Structure 1
Amino acid sequence: MSQLGATVTSEGIRFAVWSSSARHLWVSIFNDSGTREVERLELKPEGEDVYALFVSSLASGTRYGFRADGDYAPERGLWFDPEKLLTDPYAVEIDRRYQYHWRLAARRNEGADTAPLMPKAVARALPEPVLVKPSLFQPGGLIYELNVRSFTKLHSDIPEAQRGTVAALAHPAVIEHLKRLGVSAVELMPITASIDERHLPPLGLHNAWGYNPVTFMALDPGLAPGGLAELRDTVAALREAGIGTILDLVFNHTGESDRLGPTLSLRGLDAQAYYRHLPDGLLANDTGTGNTVACDHPVVRQMVLDTLRHFVRHAGVDGFRFDLAPVLGRVEGAFDPDAPLLRAIAGDPMLADRVLIAEPWDVGPGGYQLGNFRPPFIEWNDRYRDDIRRFWRGDPGVVGALATRLAGSSDIFGRQGQPASRSVNFIAAHDGMTLADLVAYENKHNEANGEENRDGHDDNLSWNNGVEGETDDAEIARARFDDQCALLATLFASRGTIMLTAGDEFGRTQKGNSNAYAQDNAITWLDWAGRDRALEQYTAALSAMRRAFPALSDTHFLTGKPAGASAIPDVEWLTETGAPLGEADWNDPGRHRLVMMLGNSGGGRLAVLVNGDRRQCVFTLPIRDGYEWRPAIETQAIDLARPLPDRTVSFMIERRAGKASSRKES
């Protein structure tokens, strides 16, 4: 198929678009301000359902949109209406943000021309491709998930005009913070142009997360006012600091929503092909957002691949996170791990060494697919999230699940005989409660979302230390601080890739809101001035320890047997007395203590001491001749002769002892 979109040359611009059902297609050319249509030119069929036209004398910066005509029969998936201006699916830039208006969803002959309401695509001569370098991120590293706008909106060190933009991520203060945390790669929540859901404007709310795209390549002008060059320069600055960039992309649905939604792009060009429909003609809704992109259609598959290559070739990004990824693997509605699109992504030469992260669930039939993607995809692991929360909440009978999650979740990712984990371990993410709110709110508080607290998950496996939301009581504050430390320590002690959401390292709160997608305000903006610096320091120390002991970030499954030439097992599971955990211990519903002893950590063993009980406990570790145990983190002053505090995780490293070392039990 010939190249689609607007291709700028020195002689003019070639416009091309695909539709298998339209009878007529036009390109509308607008003036420099995008306020007046100056010319409407009909595109000519070129074969393979491509319509195109070369227009001489036009140059880079031209504003344009498409129009299409044909049958109008929504019950059959046909929405042709030449009064609807349509964004080019291959647009690389738009001139302003999308704003919802009811006329965008008006039926044919019921509304006026939508051109005044629509952003205009901007034809651009793309810059020379960047020199594509190997991905900086390797499995086992630390991913730092962030929302571009909320991350820097209140950061006083960043120039005010730059706050909340992609460019702000390249500011020295941001890079210094990321380096101090030992971040391997930032994962940017969607920065492509999106539109608000239709119920939000009447509530005075705005979609702050961006998971409602219109097209897939054009960046949001509010987040990246400098366009593709801004993203490219930021990626380069982060790479110079040793930090990779991962884009969170949404290919599973678009903001055109259900049959009552607006006609903005794909719907008006060929809804039958671009979206999946049920046998009765209704839109499939495997996403909970009203429509499902037909990723098994060859044209859609090509568009997804072209989008991924675009961001690697012209911005140099290190990888991608795929929202509701089973949609990308649905073939005729059913998930197939060997679906053509998934195989094409994994096998593409330009994408071969990029990190590929699947969110392995959607809301459609058979949509929960954790562990079922093929390598090289790694996967968000909600089983890890839930089991760690249950353990620290104090649920009975969870110690075995804790050990399995610490060790890389072989029960999930070892099913197909794979030797290494593909788990992305996380305790909190953008969706759900923050880390601080997990230990302060037993129930969600989503009242600000305007849906009477009905939205979002009801069970966040959270708990409340003291009076809900209370922050003045010192004892309550200390208990919550300790619980956050325990959760963070568990995360950094877990084998495989880990993910931390921005601000959780210093106690960000959303006041119990577990679904803050519509809160573009102080609820989601990170409070840099009021951050918990002690918690931030502890997180940085945990990260430094993790980097110092490769056994923690190794993705290979633990066997309990010696590794290589070493006589030390790669893992031993012990009780607090130093004895091996037996079957009775594993099955004891009241057990909330264990020791994970990892071998081959810098010449000695690393002991992870977990006391999830609400009582202090003395831990005893086995001694080897010529070795002694020392705290692995400088901020932890541990004396194993004394009880370890309740609800805590401690780390001890085994090192060779000096000549005067003691053989006493420790």
Structure 2
Amino acid sequence: MTINRLFFAYLDESQLITILLPYSYYDGHSSSFHLADGNGNTPLEIQEKIHLDAFLKYVCYSPFQPKIGQSYSIIDQYGGKTDLQIGAVIRTSEFDESFYYDGSDLGVTVIDNRTMFKVWAPTASQVKLVVYDRQYENPKYYPMMREEKGVWRIELGENLDSYPYSFLACINQEWREAVDPYARAVTVNGQYGVVVHLEQTKVSKPQLPEFVHPCDAIIYETHIRDLSAHPASGVNRKGTYLGAAEIGTTSPSGRVTGLSYIKDLGVTHIEFLPFHDFEGVDERYPDKDYNWGYNPVHFNVPEGSYASNPEDPYRRIIELKELIATVHAQGLRVIMDAVYNHVYVRENSPFEKLVPGYYFRHGQDGLPSNGTGVGNDFASEKLMARKFILDSIRYWLTEYQVDGFRFDLMGILDIQTMLEVKRVAQEIDPSVILIGEGWDLNTPIEAGKKATIGNQAMLPCIGQFNDWFRDSIKGSTFNLFDRGYALGNERYTEAAKQVLAGSVGIDNRKVGLFSEPRQSVNYVECHDNHTLWDKLVACEVDFPERKHRLATSLVLLAQGIPFIHSGQEFFRTKNGVGNSYKSPDEINWLDWERRDQFIGNVDYIKGLIAIRKSHRAFRLPDTVSIRKHVSYLSLPAPLLGYCLLEVQEYGKWKDIYVLINPTVEQENFLLPEEGEWKILANHLYTSAIPFAEIQGKSVDIEPYSLMIIVR
């Protein structure tokens, strides 16, 4: 609906009204304005006039506070009239506190044969529920009743199972149709919400292995479609939830693939790239396009392109739950990649349609901010925006039984929201793991309130992706040709010492990047940017396989939380594509034939995982323990040797030495003393059970390799 307005008026504070008169309308001049509510006209006090390029701006004071959700008109000296629109008042703390609703029943509630709908739309003057038939036709309109805190409600005495629905809200005299932000099911491609009975989708959660501390986690990141799409995956239902849940699948060589392969590696957690509903793939033709999933649309609904039948709103729910249950049955936990920092298109978002101007941050110029780089920043500090995130976290934990969250662009979110996330999540599951990208992005909240690495001291129980580790070990992510410590760059030697010790600060460095090792998510590769193998190829390095193996080994041996990108263990390549978010399957899939080709490296990494799990000294729980037990040998750079001394309280071995040679030459390391030293790892083999002993007072370490010795 288009409204022709002679001039414009906005409620910008509770009693402050901004009026814009175009110069083409009486040269922009009016000596008086009145506020009309249908019962009479109230004169406004003109406090200020400001000349703009196309308008004369009047800042006016109202003697009473206009009621949000009620219609008003502004009348000028000539009798011209316009409607009073909701303006910047929506971004005031007064509005936020006045309309905060703490109920747990937004969205749809089904009780017996009655269905209740609730939606938060405080600036709407009218709201209607629209219910379609199951062919998405013949809409029926039901006026909703306004209740306290800007919540609109209606209860229908009928069973609406599988019926599509939406909301129609009249805001600033315009009707907008929106999908329910709290929708738990949608029609194909998310056009409408759908009423579902979730009790029909229940899946029980099996008993999982004990998980005591975040540093016990070994995270394996993968994409539901990538996991099974390759022709050699042995998976029947490729690219789907059900395909990712197939077990016992094998490549043509007979080696296990897919979920069974991940279990066999020995990791503890699978982190799936986003599986909430996203844009970028037509759910009816999922093979036509590809997307990582960072285009969020409906946050509480599983993505339909992974479902066997996206037309059936139940299938995506049931099949995702079956996938998670199957992962649990393998003794593994599931981390959900959560993208609460932005939406795909702000203008089309249910948030913006139902409460325009509220859910997204705006700069001083009044325009939406863009710290995310995708056109909008979710205003997590707003009370109802924060509530939505918390309600969503609670929903995924209880309904889908996920075991953790990875927060995309967490630095956009505010600290208070993340602390509330931690509280809510740990009340439900004390073993939940929370990690995120704490990059400092240009979004208009105070620097001290952002959930960034720089503010890690205020986020003590949340892991942060450690870019210091990443860039020190492999080289800068944003300079393809920069080589890190594992690639032979001596200038990263001191940094390597620090990051291998959990980035908490040891030796002369008393203050680290993090307060505790549980905050450091150590990685050299993830879905973003070039794979490590492609970086090595671009740098035209010698010994690429050894350098790659060394870098990945350091991820697994460092204090903190190790994070491995799927396929990293067999030198995953994306053929040089640095941002494959919508590249075809042939670029993104896990190449199981390549896995077979490099099975020796897979076995090496598998052995390192077993070593890490076999002794808690490789995953010390706190900074005090790291500073007590970790010390470095005095060696010429770039050689490194560190000791884990007197660690028998954490496992079988009393003393552990890790010796690292990132050079092109074989190097001889003197042992601190003679003794019955046994080898757990060298340049060829890794095992939690010693496979050789050292004779003599020294040991040779091959180029670009490491050795782990114990006694």
For 1:646, the equivalent position in structure 2 comes to 703
Structure 1 422/561 Cα, relative in aligned 2: closer, same or farther at 3 Å?
closer
User: Which of residues 315, 325, 336 is equivalent to 1:236?
Assistant: 325
- SS class of match (1:515): coil
For 1:103, the equivalent position in structure 2 comes to none
Structure 1 distance, partners of 2:380, 2:510, is: 25
For 1:188, the equivalent position in structure 2 comes to 272
Structure 1 314/381 Cα, relative in aligned 2: closer, same or farther at 3 Å?
same
Is 1:86 aligned with 2:178? yes
CA deviation after TM superposition for structure 1 residue 362, in Å: 4.7
- More strand, by proportion: 2
User: Which of residues 633, 638, 643 is equivalent to 1:597?
Assistant: 643
For 1:216, the equivalent position in structure 2 comes to 299
Is 1:270 aligned with 2:355? yes
Is 1:622 aligned with 2:663? no
CA deviation after TM superposition for structure 1 residue 423, in Å: 0.5
Structure 1 distance, partners of 2:223, 2:510, is: 29
Structure 2 distance, partners of 1:560, 1:353, is: 22
Contact 1:16 1:51 in 2 (8 A): yes
Letter in 2 for 1:630: I
CA deviation after TM superposition for structure 1 residue 438, in Å: 2.3
Where do 5+ consecutive residues of structure 2 fail to align? 1-100, 250-257, 309-314, 475-483
Per-residue CA shift, 1:48-103, capped at 9, x if unaligned? 1011211222322111122222227xxxxxxx543xx42210011112125xxxxx
Is 1:342 aligned with 2:436? no
Structure 2 distance, partners of 1:394, 1:131, is: 46
Structure 2 distance, partners of 1:496, 1:275, is: 34
Contact 2:184 2:194 in 1 (8 A): yes
Contact 1:135 1:244 in 2 (8 A): no
For 1:608, the equivalent position in structure 2 comes to 658
Normalising by structure 2, report the TM-score.
Answer: 0.72
User: Which of residues 464, 467, 470 is equivalent to 1:379?
Assistant: 464
Structure 2 distance, partners of 1:133, 1:307, is: 24
CA deviation after TM superposition for structure 1 residue 247, in Å: 0.4
Is 1:515 aligned with 2:579? yes
CA deviation after TM superposition for structure 1 residue 417, in Å: 9.2
Structure 2 distance, partners of 1:178, 1:560, is: 30
CA deviation after TM superposition for structure 1 residue 377, in Å: 0.9
CA deviation after TM superposition for structure 1 residue 434, in Å: 1.2
For 2:125, the equivalent position in structure 1 comes to 23
Contact 2:410 2:452 in 1 (8 A): no
Structure 2 distance, partners of 1:19, 1:401, is: 51
Structure 1 13/631 Cα, relative in aligned 2: closer, same or farther at 3 Å?
closer
Structure 1 274/132 Cα, relative in aligned 2: closer, same or farther at 3 Å?
farther
Matched residues, number: 552
Alpha-carbon RMSD: 2.9
Structure 1 180/282 Cα, relative in aligned 2: closer, same or farther at 3 Å?
same
Is 1:245 aligned with 2:334? yes
Contact 2:241 2:319 in 1 (8 A): no
User: Which of residues 527, 530, 534 is equivalent to 2:594?
Assistant: 530
Q: State the percentage of identical aligned residues.
A: 24
Structure 1 distance, partners of 2:514, 2:294, is: 35
For 1:168, the equivalent position in structure 2 comes to 244
17-26 vs 219-228, greater mean Cα deviation? 219-228
For 2:537, the equivalent position in structure 1 comes to 440
Contact 1:433 1:512 in 2 (8 A): yes
Letter in 1 for 2:524: I
Per-residue CA shift, 1:542-562, capped at 9, x if unaligned? 111111222112232366876
Structure 1 183/401 Cα, relative in aligned 2: closer, same or farther at 3 Å?
same
Is 1:541 aligned with 2:617? no
Normalising by structure 1, report the TM-score.
Answer: 0.77
Structure 2 distance, partners of 1:286, 1:420, is: 28
For 2:41, the equivalent position in structure 1 comes to none
For 1:62, the equivalent position in structure 2 comes to 163
For 2:79, the equivalent position in structure 1 comes to none
Per-residue CA shift, 1:218-262, capped at 9, x if unaligned? 1111124532322222222222222111101011110114xxxx5
More contact order relative to length (CA 8 Å, sep ≥ 6): 1
Is 1:552 aligned with 2:618? yes
Structure 2 distance, partners of 1:130, 1:180, is: 24
Structure 1 4/631 Cα, relative in aligned 2: closer, same or farther at 3 Å?
closer
- SS class of match (2:156): strand
For 1:464, the equivalent position in structure 2 comes to 540
Letter in 2 for 1:66: F
- SS class of match (2:441): coil
Letter in 2 for 1:613: T
Structure 1 distance, partners of 2:429, 2:267, is: 22
User: Which of residues 600, 619, 630 is equivalent to 1:571?
Assistant: 630
Per-residue CA shift, 1:182-210, capped at 9, x if unaligned? 11111111101111399xxxxx9946111
User: Which of residues 194, 210, 224 is equivalent to 1:122?
Assistant: 194
- SS class of match (1:288): coil
Structure 1 559/546 Cα, relative in aligned 2: closer, same or farther at 3 Å?
closer
Map 1:3-22; keep pairs closer than 5 Å.
3-22=105-124
Letter in 1 for 2:291: A
Map 1:356-371; keep pairs closer than 5 Å.
356-365=434-443, 366=447, 369-370=452-453
Per-residue CA shift, 1:584-614, capped at 9, x if unaligned? x5xxxxx211111212252332221111112
